[in-house]
Amino acid sequence: MSSETASKRNSHKGFTLIELVIVVALIAIVAAYAVPSFGRLIESNRVSSTANGLLGTLNYARSEAVKAGRTVNIRPVDGTAWGSGLLVWLDADGDNTFDANEELRRFADISTGLTITGSATTIGFRGNGFITPETAAEFQLSVASANTATSFICTGFSGRIRTASAAC
């Protein structure tokens, strides 16, 4: 047996313990920087998703108002906190009061950790798509989280609905 064949048999392929420890340490350092950023990304997506859901709800109410030719209102399910969910209802009798048979759709409460505030307790769209009451020419909902920027949903007197990164 030659010395060349013997040395080939004794050589091992793989990593040493030191090399493995160094690689694991590098992965831990990279993960320590990536995980907090990933958490902020998730929060930002939650805020954006909730704002888009609210925007869709407002657009739904406006289109139902135009379709029915009557006022359709949106209010919090519990009557005060926008985070409790949204209730969309057609004011069939014109008394500006929610009755059980007027409900069109109920949207679930907002996910935990998000804060939703509104400048009014009820918003409505008339049959022509304009916002009601006329005195509330601008309605604003803000969706916020502790770690991300606030997203705003703005509605003008004409009923146009848009999202914004700054207050309306």
pLDDT per residue over 10-31, tens digit each? Answer: 566 788 889 899 999 999 998 8
Q: Which of 54-68, 79-93, 101-115 has the lowest mean pLDDT?
A: 101-115
In the predicted model, what is the mean pLDDT of residues 111-125? 77
pLDDT of 136 above 70: no
Contacts made by residues 42-45, CB under 8 angstroms, sequence distance 24+? 43/113, 43/145, 43/146, 43/147, 43/148, 44/145, 44/148, 44/149
Q: Is the pLDDT score of 157 beyond 90? A: no
- Is 161 in a helix, a strand, or coil? strand
Residue-wise pLDDT for 87-112, tens only, equals 888 877 777 777 777 778 888 767 66
Q: What is the DSSP string of 11-61?
A: ---S--HHHHHHHHHHHHHHHHHHHHHHHHHHHHHHHHHHHHHHHHHHHHH
User: CA gyration radius for the chain?
Assistant: 28
Write down the mean pLDDT value for the chain. Answer: 79
Buried b (16+ CB within 10 A) or exposed e, 1-17: eeeeeeeeeeeeeeeee
pLDDT computed for residue 25 by the predictor: 94
Q: What is the helix, strand, coil percentage profile of the chain, to 5?
A: 40, 25, 40
Which residues, 6+ apart, have CB-to-CB distance to 6 below 8 Å? none
Distance CA 56, CA 162 (A): 10
Q: What type of residue sits at position 75?
A: R
- The full set of domains in the chain, from first to last, is 16-67+110-164 (3.55.40.10)
